[in-house]
Amino acid sequence: MKRVLVVYYSQSGDVTRAVESFTKFLQTAEIELTWECIKPKDNYPFPWSLYKFFDVFPECVNGEPPEIYPPKFGNDEKFDLIILAYQVWFLAPSLPIQGFLKSKYAKVLENTKVITLVVCRNMWHSASETMKKMIAEVGGIHIDNVVLTHQGPPLATFITTPRLLLTGKKNRFLGVLPAAGVRDEDIYALSRFGKQIANNLAALSDSSRQPMLQGLGAVEVNQRYVIPEFIGRLVYRPWAKIARFFGKQGSWSRIPIVCIFAVQLIFAIPIVLIVSTVVQLLFAPLIHKKIASYVELLKSPSGVD
């Protein structure tokens, strides 16, 4: 009997549906599945109000998560595998998931194999690298990373994702733009990963760091997002520090700075996209190697076929 712990947090239900599909073939007599939905002590109501949405930005970027309520699994419980399903908030793992990883309960990851499943609009690179560091800090053995992004062209998701987050509406917009969130077919297809694990249960007992999900298309890296994410992180950090200087999440004193950040972000996004394209065109020979090695890092640990 193998023990598998599923840790997740979800607002719209995308992460929940993704991890349910992922684990479909793990619901067998040889596996004991334990589900743990993270419950943060701070409230993040969905759909979001516009201000609350931007007000979580500094804590996301600075890594100042909320406390979480005690999980149902015991302090000294051991598992053969942990599946950690999370979403990206402002290029970082969402605050509830950061809250779990920075809590004493993250001890459960120590010396245990961990597979991450990230669901987001399409900018997951920085969050994924942050996640790898956080897992390493608590002694987890990160063996695979699976990435699932929202449906539709990236430009359309600049409208469909905020509409989903601020209104809860997922349907096609204006009859032209695709539905928001993750495509159903992509969710169903995640079951291939659980199947692979179920067919290789013995591998959970060895002490290697060998990935289990190689060759299944766990991660697709779009190189075009490497520079925008890099610039985004660079720009986010000072803003997050300044906003935090003016007060904590929810405090009146930081309303003006959070509003200024929100307004500049609307203008900054097209500028960043243009600058990134220019940098990529002008400096391609100089940065090609660096980008290629970063892409390899992003593909790890599962790699790409």
**Residue 207 CB, nearest distance to ligand FMN (Å)?**
33
**Residue 53 CB, nearest distance to ligand FMN (Å)?**
5
Q: Which stretch binds ligand FMN (CB under 6 A): 102-110, 116-124, 132-140, 166-174?
A: 116-124
**Residue 198 CB, nearest distance to ligand FMN (Å)?**
24
Give the total of residues touching ligand FMN (CB under 6 A).
23
Contact code string over 49-88 relative to ligand FMN, x by CB under 6 A: ----x--x------------------------------xx
* 239: contact with ligand FMN by CB under 6 A: no
**Residue 187 CB, nearest distance to ligand FMN (Å)?**
11
CA 143 – CA 130 distance, rounded (Å): 15
Residues 174-213 close enough to bind ligand FMN by CB under 6 A: 181
Q: Which stretch binds ligand FMN (CB under 6 A): 10-18, 96-104, 237-245, 251-259?
A: 10-18
Q: What token pair was written down for 300?
A: 């790890």
Enumerate residues 6+ apart whose C-beta is below 8 A from 236: 57, 61, 90, 91
Amino acid at the residue 273: L
The residue from 38, 120, 212, 226 that contacts ligand FMN (CB under 6 A) is 120
**Residue 86 CB, nearest distance to ligand FMN (Å)?**
8
**Residue 88 CB, nearest distance to ligand FMN (Å)?**
4
What is the 3-state secondary structure of 48-61? CCHHHHHHCHHHHH
**Residues that bind ligand FMN in the complex, under the rule CB under 6 A:** 10-15, 48, 53, 56, 87-91, 119-124, 161, 165, 181
